Amino acid sequence: MSLSEAFQTLEKDLESQVIDQPQLVRSLIISLLADGHLLVEGAPGLAKTKAIKEMAARLHGHFNRIQFTPDLLPSDITGTEIYHQDSNQFVFQEGPVFANLILADEINRSPAKVQSALLEAMSERQVTVAGETRRLDDLFLVMATQNPLEQEGTYPLPEAQLDRFLMHVFLDYPNREAELKILRLVRGELKQPEPAALQITKQQTMAARQQILELFVSEAIEEYMVQLTLATRHPQTWGDDLASWLTAGVSPRATIALERCARAQAWLSGRDFVTPDDVQSVFPNVYRHRLYLSYEAMGQGISSETVVQTILQRVPIA
């Protein structure tokens, strides 16, 4: 089995366990292959936790869950030094962030100082405790969740931290057929749970990342991605309505993220080159959390989803 076939099998396995959430499954795998992090927003019970747990069961790596609460401390994430009386010295005890796959559940429940502790780990792949910097593993993915229905007592993520997430996915409720499949799946798991057969090693994941970097991206595709970014910085070029909706454009980090995700999307589709469809399919999830909407747009009920779809419709393929 080739590397691409192994990850295609991983995607099919996850879709059989996470019913009617193909966008979540594909975005989770793309984040893993593009060496980024994923922010998922959806009501409770939509299989956010199950998705990353099922992925962890099929990867050779360590999985940790961090439940964010208002009284959480930065040291609860990064770890702390503990004094051992028998040896008369301080010994560092690693926190839950020292893992390969991290579920940051309800990340907006904790104050900014706790969120910033995770920010360093996400962006620099390291944590600093007591003046000493400790590296995290090369295979490191954070999937953070937010509940859009309950905002009381929450601490909205600042733009700097939102920009650290490679992708932002919104989840909706399943339809009737999917709801029936979920009922039968859970009933079957309770009767006879089955261990995951597929196991992907860290070496395979790293090799897949190298293959993705070698995919061909034409100059026309590069120009198209740049034009999509420029549409957020100079929206008046593409319409007065778009200009009134945005107050600032996205940073170069967004363009870099778009290319990485488009490469992973093409690789998962079994191609060795990137097409405009690859760019368009990942564009909304890569850009929606990086946009700065104006008060006028929010007053009109214009969402970031409306903005990204408008940009896709108006910016021509190079």
Do 187 and 263 fall within a single domain? no
Count how many domains the chain has: 2
- Model confidence band, residue 150 (pLDDT cutoffs 50, 70, 90): low
Do 156 and 42 fall within a single domain? yes
User: Which two structure tokens, joined as six digits, stand for 142?
Assistant: 């954070």
Average pLDDT over residues 83-87: 82
Say if 98 falls within a structural domain. yes
Say if 202 falls within a structural domain. no
pTM of the model: 0.92
Closest Cα partner for 126 from 64, 195, 78, 63?
Answer: 78
Say if 40 falls within a structural domain. yes
Say if 171 falls within a structural domain. yes
Query: What is the CATH number for 16?
Result: 3.40.50.300
Do 129 and 239 fall within a single domain? no
Do 181 and 236 fall within a single domain? no
CA distance 97 to 76: 9
Do 236 and 112 fall within a single domain? no
Average pLDDT over residues 157-183: 89
| Strand-by-strand arrangement of the 38-41 sheet | 63-67, 101-105, 141-146, 38-41, 167-170
CA distance 155 to 129: 24
Say if 196 falls within a structural domain. no
Q: What percent of the chain has pLDDT over 70?
A: 96
Q: Which of 191, 224, 246 is the last residue of a domain?
A: 191
Query: What is the CATH number for 263?
Result: 1.10.8.80
- Model confidence band, residue 32 (pLDDT cutoffs 50, 70, 90): very high
DSSP, collapsed to helix, strand or coil, labels residue 33 as helix
Statement: residue 240 has pLDDT above 90: yes
Average pLDDT over residues 200-219: 95
Give the residue numbers spanning the domain of 68. Answer: 3-191
Say if 207 falls within a structural domain. no
CA distance 37 to 24: 13
Say if 298 falls within a structural domain. yes
Say if 104 falls within a structural domain. yes
Statement: residue 266 has pLDDT above 90: yes
User: Which two structure tokens, joined as six digits, stand for 130?
Assistant: 């007591």
What mean pLDDT, rounded, does the chain reach?
A: 91
Statement: residue 245 has pLDDT above 90: yes
Query: Per DSSP, which regions of the chain are E strands?
Result: 38-41, 63-67, 79-84, 89-94, 101-105, 126-129, 132-135, 141-146, 167-170, 246-248, 292-293
- What pLDDT is stored for residue 100 in this prediction? 94
Do 12 and 100 fall within a single domain? yes
Statement: residue 149 has pLDDT above 70: no
